């Protein structure tokens, strides 16, 4: 059966299908993480209360949020593969880091208004994403939609850079085909799962503090910058704030990132085997 091989040219349709499936699974987990990290429920609320609230209607902005998650993750992974291929074809070193850095930075900047208003919309006092957009523009002007971009990039860019670098390292270093023997489908898919989980968890845990800073900056009426937000958090909670919501964040972030990585691999493998008639 051979080892696991990636397609030489990434497919945008495969990336969109993988990211879309992950986004559907992720929506309630994303809500629970936002609610916890933004303090929309009392800090005394139990984990059961948190997830119970996250799964309850109204599902404000569900279509917009899922659509945004889909194009963003597909764009980051597809763009990373394309840019890395561009570097490799020209013999330019550093593509493994530069590729996810460039693709995730671009996506983060473009997607920022949607990210901020989606988070604000989960505030019990908000009625919809449209209302959140109107509120931000009225209070802060159009550029307010991009407020928190620095904090957002602090979280998103390192997360995806870490995830992509880790998955590529594992793919190169531990790919079953390197052993020079036939491997079973079970071994191939176990390898895919292990690679996806390791990459997703590494990227999520390292960037949890930046996620909290970003969500704090997104709260309506908050005008503090990154350093001011950190000082406020430290004064209010000590350094414990850095671990706030890490459990829910592991679910809301690791699950969709890991699932996207796995599904891209699995769908590409099916595509390659289909074309080869296996």
Q: What is the chain's alpha carbon radius of gyration, rounded to the nearest angstrom? A: 20
32, 12, 8: which is closest to 20 by C-alpha? Answer: 12
> If you ran DSSP here, which 8-state letter would residue 58 be given?
P
Tens-digit pLDDT profile for residues 230-246? 898 888 888 888 877 77
Residues contacting residue 67 through CB under 8 Å, at least 6 positions apart: 23
Query: Does residue 263 contact residue 22 with C-beta atoms inside 8 Å?
Result: yes
Distance separating alpha carbons of residues 209 and 105, to the nearest angstrom? 18
Q: How far apart are CA 246 and CA 244, in angstroms?
A: 6
At residue 194's C-alpha, the angle toward residues 182 and 79, to 5°, is 100
Residue 258 CA to residue 250 CA, distance in Å, equals: 10
- DSSP letter at 278 equals -
DSSP 8-state code for residue 181: S
Residue among 19, 88, 31, 86 at smallest CA distance from 61: 31
Count of Cβ atoms closer than 10 Å to residue 157 Cβ: 21
3-state helix, strand, coil in the chain (%, to 5): 80, 0, 20
Cα 190 to Cα 165, 242, 254, distances in angstroms? 19, 33, 17
Length of the chain: 278
pLDDT by residue for the chain (278 residues), tens digit each?
A: 444 555 456 789 999 999 999 999 888 878 777 776 666 665 566 666 666 666 777 677 788 889 999 999 999 999 999 999 999 898 888 888 899 999 999 999 999 998 888 888 777 677 778 888 888 899 888 988 898 788 778 778 888 999 999 999 998 887 766 555 677 888 889 999 999 999 999 888 888 888 788 778 767 677 778 888 889 888 888 888 887 777 777 877 888 899 999 999 999 988 866 655 55
Number of helical (H) and strand (E) elements in the chain, helices listed first: 11, 0
Summarize pLDDT for 199-209 with one digit per residue, the tens: 999 888 888 88
Q: Enumerate residues 6+ apart whose C-beta is below 8 A from 208.
A: 242, 243, 245, 246, 249
The pTM for the full model equals: 0.75
Whole-number Cα distances in Å, 150 to 8, 44, 66, 147? 34, 30, 23, 8
CATH class of 12-270: mainly alpha
User: For the chain, what are the domain ranges?
Assistant: 12-270
């Amino acid at each position: 059966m051979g080892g696991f091989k990636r397609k030489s040219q990434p497919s945008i349709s495969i990336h969109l299908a993988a990211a879309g499936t992950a986004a559907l699974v992720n929506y309630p987990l994303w809500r629970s993480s936002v609610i916890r990290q933004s303090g929309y429920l009392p800090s005394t609320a139990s984990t059961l209360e948190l997830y119970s609230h996250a799964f309850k209607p109204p599902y404000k902005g569900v279509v917009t949020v899922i659509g945004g998650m889909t194009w963003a993750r597909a764009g980051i992974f597809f763009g990373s593969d394309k840019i890395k291929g561009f570097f490799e074809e020209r013999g330019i070193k550093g593509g493994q880091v530069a590729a996810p850095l460039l693709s995730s930075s671009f996506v983060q900047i473009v997607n920022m208004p949607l990210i901020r208003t989606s988070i604000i919309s989960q505030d019990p006092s908000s009625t919809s994403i449209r209302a959140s957009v109107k509120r931000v523009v009225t209070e802060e002007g159009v550029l307010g939609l991009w407020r928190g971009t620095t904090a957002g990039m602090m979280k998103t860019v390192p997360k995806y850079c870490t995830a992509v670098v880790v998955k590529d390292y594992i793919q190169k270093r531990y790919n079953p085909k390197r052993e020079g023997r036939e491997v079973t489908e079970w071994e191939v898919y176990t390898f895919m799962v292990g690679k996806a989980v390791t990459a997703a968890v590494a990227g999520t845990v390292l960037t949890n503090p930046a996620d909290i800073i970003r969500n704090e900056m997104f709260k309506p009426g908050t005008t503090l910058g990154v350093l001011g937000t950190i000082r406020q958090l430290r004064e209010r909670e000590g350094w414990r704030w850095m671990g706030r919501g890490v459990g829910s964040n592991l679910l809301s972030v690791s699950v969709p990132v890991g699932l996207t990585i796995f599904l891209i691999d699995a769908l590409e493998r099916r595509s390659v085997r289909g074309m080869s008639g296996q």
